[in-house]
Amino acid sequence: MILEYSDQLWVPQIKSWRLNERHYGKLQGLNKKETAEKYGDEQVHIWRRSYDTLPPLMEETDEGSAANDRRYAMLDKRDIPGGENLKVTLERALPFWQDEIAPALLDNKTVLVAAHGNSLRALAKHIEGISDEDIMDLEIPTGQPLVYELNDDLTVAKKYYL
């Protein structure tokens, strides 16, 4: 839609599973209220916002397991997690940064990343060098473009929202 609106349909688009939303394991598909009633508000907050606390993991045989989703058939099932925290989400997203985004930026190209909240938080952690503790408080508003102006070494020179 952005490319069409800006009359730039010729600009290449790269889609990758590495930018998908994080996998909440056995919490996947549950609403926050029901999950909080079952596990408690504090535990749900920890699962949702902490860097390295995993949610209850899905088994490959569980209904809804990504390991059996045809969209991920090209991946080795061992690479498909049963659930993710932000650390695992970053480990998944980082190769896309290293293989696609960083080389394009180093080639002086402008890059637009459209992704889900937690994959964006993971990339922001990497780009900004945010600590494991501080990442819990990072909020990236939905639908509000975040701009990074980067130095030649890809460190942040300026960050702002449009």
Distance CA 49, CA 34 (A): 18
Give the pLDDT confidence of 93-106 residue by residue, as tens digits: 999 999 999 999 99
| Average pLDDT taken over every residue of the chain | 91
For the chain, give the longest Cα–Cα distance.
50
pLDDT at residue 71 in the model: 85
Distances (CA, A) of 156 to 87, 97, 107, 145, 160: 21, 15, 17, 16, 11
Sequence spans of domains, the chain:
15-161
18 neighbors 93 (Cβ within 8 angstroms): yes
Give the pLDDT confidence of 69-80 residue by residue, as tens digits: 888 888 888 888
Query: Residue for token digits 């002086």?
Result: 108
Q: What percent of the chain has pLDDT over 90?
A: 68
Q: φ and ψ at 147, to 5 degrees?
A: -110, 130
Distance CA 92, CA 69 (A): 17
Q: From the centroid of its chain, how far is CA 147?
A: 17
pLDDT tier at 160, thresholds 50, 70, 90:
very high
Query: What is the CATH code of the structural domain delimited by 15-161?
Result: 3.40.50.1240
- Asked whether the CA dihedral 60, 62, 66, 72 is positive or negative, the reply is positive
Give the pLDDT confidence of 35-69 residue by residue, as tens digits: 999 999 999 989 988 899 999 999 888 887 888 88
- Over residues 22-47, the mean pLDDT reads 90
Q: Which among 50, 51, 49, 57 is positioned nearest to 27, based on CA atoms?
A: 57
Between 92 and 4, residue with greater pLDDT: 92
pLDDT at residue 159 in the model: 97
Instruction: Give the annotated binding-site residues for substrate.
Output: 21-24, 32, 48-49, 117-118
Question: How many other CB atoms sit within 10 Å of the CB of residue 60?
Answer: 12
Instruction: Give the annotated binding-site residues.
Output: 21-24, 32, 48-49, 117-118
pLDDT tier at 149, thresholds 50, 70, 90:
very high
pTM of the full structure: 0.88
